[in-house]
């Protein structure tokens, strides 16, 4: 069984992409809605929350893990492989699949993410390893606005303020390095222009999941959602993204 975790609703975008590639896989998803958002938490807080999330997924039967939270990928203070006796082929995070997509590309890349992800430098360093320098733009408050179902105007304001000193002509593609951000693509286009090219890492991660976990992960297509607290926004987005997928939602 594949276990996926995120701070809340953002990882649903990753699960949606994975479901398109592996419709028969059994999946358990944990959204830590009680502690969302993760994007402005400390490394120590993120480490503790990550340990708890993976432990929960393993207790519920997950053998392969997807970290669908860029802040977690960026800020872990421990080795997940050592802490949970996982093999490298049992864990997938967001950074590697995203950066590898641009290997050999001449595109000028801008990347927007939570403050925690940008401050960590993990994407900047990973892109340098493939010979590419990028613009990294923190967007304070955006993940939280999406997580808690704020209106379009508030979401657009967060984007507009973050990009106030950024020239859209200075990059060819914008990487959304927070799994919440694809829910705001229309607002990004309103601010940066309808022709802006946007890259959603969920598809790169889903391709990596298929390559790494198939055919081990062939099951009955069962989907279980766990949350750490009640969230109407979570339920609404599950209904919207998975209208034809049988599922259950539980509070863990």
pTM of this structure:
0.93
Give SS3 for 33.
coil
Q: What is the pLDDT of residues 111-132, one digit of tens each?
A: 999 998 998 899 999 999 999 9
**Marked catalytic residue, from 56, 69, 74, 174:** 69
Q: What is the pLDDT of residues 218-237, one digit of tens each?
A: 889 999 999 999 999 999 99
Q: Tell me, yes or no, if 112 is annotated catalytic.
A: no
- H or E segment at 237? helix 232-241
- How many Å apart are CA 132 and CA 157, to the nearest integer? 30
**Marked catalytic residue, from 25, 80, 178, 237:** 178
Q: What is the 3-state secondary structure (H, E, C) of 118-136?
A: HHHCHHHHHHHHCCCCCEE
Mean pLDDT of 199-204: 97
Q: Tell me, yes or no, if 178 is annotated catalytic.
A: yes
Tell me whether the omega of the peptide bond preceding residue 215 falls within 30 degrees of 0, making it cis. yes
Name which of 57, 66, 100 is nearest 213 in CA terms. Answer: 66
- How many Å apart are CA 203 and CA 250, to the nearest integer? 27
The token duo for 38 is 């993760």
- Distance of CA 237 to CAs 180, 221, 225, 231, 241, Å? 11, 19, 12, 10, 6
| 115-124, 151-160, 168-177: the lowest-pLDDT one | 115-124
Q: What is the pLDDT of residues 34-49, one digit of tens each?
A: 998 887 788 888 888 9
- How many Å apart are CA 5 and CA 221, to the nearest integer? 18
What pLDDT was estimated at residue 84?
A: 77
Judge whether 43 and 75 are in contact, CB under 8 Å.
Answer: yes
Name which of 110, 182, 93 is nearest 146 in CA terms. Answer: 182
Across 46-60, 65-79, 123-137, the highest mean pLDDT is recorded for: 123-137
Name the pLDDT band for 76 (thresholds 50, 70, 90). low
């Amino acid at each position: 069984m594949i276990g996926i975790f995120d701070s809340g609703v953002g990882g649903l975008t990753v699960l949606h992409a994975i479901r398109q590639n592996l419709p028969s896989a059994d999946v358990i998803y944990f959204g830590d809605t009680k502690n969302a958002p993760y994007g402005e938490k400390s490394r120590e807080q993120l480490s503790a929350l990550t340990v708890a999330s993976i432990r929960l997924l393993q207790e519920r039967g997950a053998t392969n893990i997807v970290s669908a939270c860029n802040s977690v990928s960026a800020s872990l203070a421990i080795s997940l492989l050592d802490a949970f006796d996982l093999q490298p082929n049992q864990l997938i995070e967001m950074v590697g699949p995203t950066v590898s997509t641009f290997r050999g590309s001449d595109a000028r890349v801008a990347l927007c993410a939570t403050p925690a992800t940008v401050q960590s430098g993990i994407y900047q360093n990973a892109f340098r390893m493939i010979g590419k320098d990028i613009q990294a733009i923190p967007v304070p408050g955006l993940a939280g606005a999406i997580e808690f179902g704020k209106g379009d105007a508030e979401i657009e304001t967060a984007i507009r303020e973050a990009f106030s000193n950024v020239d859209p002509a200075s990059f060819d593609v914008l990487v959304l390095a927070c799994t919440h951000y694809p829910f705001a693509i229309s607002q990004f286009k309103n601010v940066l222009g309808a022709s802006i090219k946007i890259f959603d890492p969920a598809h790169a991660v889903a391709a990596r999941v298929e390559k790494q976990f198939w055919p081990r992960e062939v099951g009955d297509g069962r989907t279980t959602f766990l949350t750490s607290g009640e969230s109407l926004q979570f339920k609404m987005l599950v209904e919207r993204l998975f209208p034809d997928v049988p599922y259950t939602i539980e509070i863990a």
